[in-house]
Amino acid sequence: MDTYILKTKDLCRDFKRQHAVSDISLSITKNSVYGLLGPNGAGKSTTLKMITGMLHPTSGEIFFENHPWSRNDLTKIGALIESPPLYENLTAKENLKVRTLLLGLPDSRIQEVLEIVSLTDTGKKHAGQFSMGMKQRLGIAIALLNYPKLLILDEPTNGLDPIGIQDLRNLIRSFPEQGITVILSSHILSEVELIADHIGIIAGGSLGYEGKINPGEDLESLFMQVVKNSKKAGA
Ligand SMILES: Nc1ncnc2c1ncn2[C@@H]1O[C@H](COP(=O)(O)OP(=O)(O)OP(=O)(O)O)[C@@H](O)[C@H]1O
Ligand SMILES: [Mg+2]
For residue 48, the domain's CATH number is 3.40.50.300
Q: How many domains does the chain have?
A: 1
pLDDT score for 145? 95
Where are the alpha helices (H) located in the chain, listed in sequence order? Answer: 44-51, 92-103, 108-116, 132-144, 162-174, 189-195, 219-234
Q: pLDDT class for 2, splitting at 50, 70, 90?
A: low
Going from the Cα of 151 to the center of ligand 1, the distance in angstroms, rounded, reads 21
Interval 82-101 mean pLDDT: 94
Residue 217 pLDDT: 81
130 domain residue, yes or no: no
- For the stretch 118-165, pLDDT in tens is 899 899 999 999 988 889 899 999 999 999 999 999 999 888 888 888
- What is the C-alpha to C-alpha distance for residues 37 and 191, in angstroms, rounded to an integer? 10
CB 211 within 8 Å of CB 227? no
Structural domain including 155 reads: 4-85+148-234
CA of 1 to the centre of ligand 2 (A): 32
Q: Give the pLDDT of residue 128.
A: 96
Which mutation among 12, 45, 51, 81 tests ligand 1's pocket best, with the greatest number of atoms within 8 A of CB? 45
Mean pLDDT of 14-32: 96
Domain annotation covers residue 152: yes
pLDDT, greater one: 188 or 199: 199
- The CA 47 to ligand 1 mean position distance, Å, reads 9
- The one-letter code for the residue type at 85 is P
Ligand 1 contact via 46 beta carbon (within 6 Å): yes
Indicate which ligand has the atom closest to the C-alpha of 21: 1
Check if 38 has its Cβ closer than 6 Å to any atom of ligand 1.
yes
Output the average pLDDT for the chain.
93
Residue 23 domain flag: yes
Which ligand is located closest to the Cα atom of residue 203?
Answer: 1
Q: pTM higher than 0.75 for the full model?
A: yes
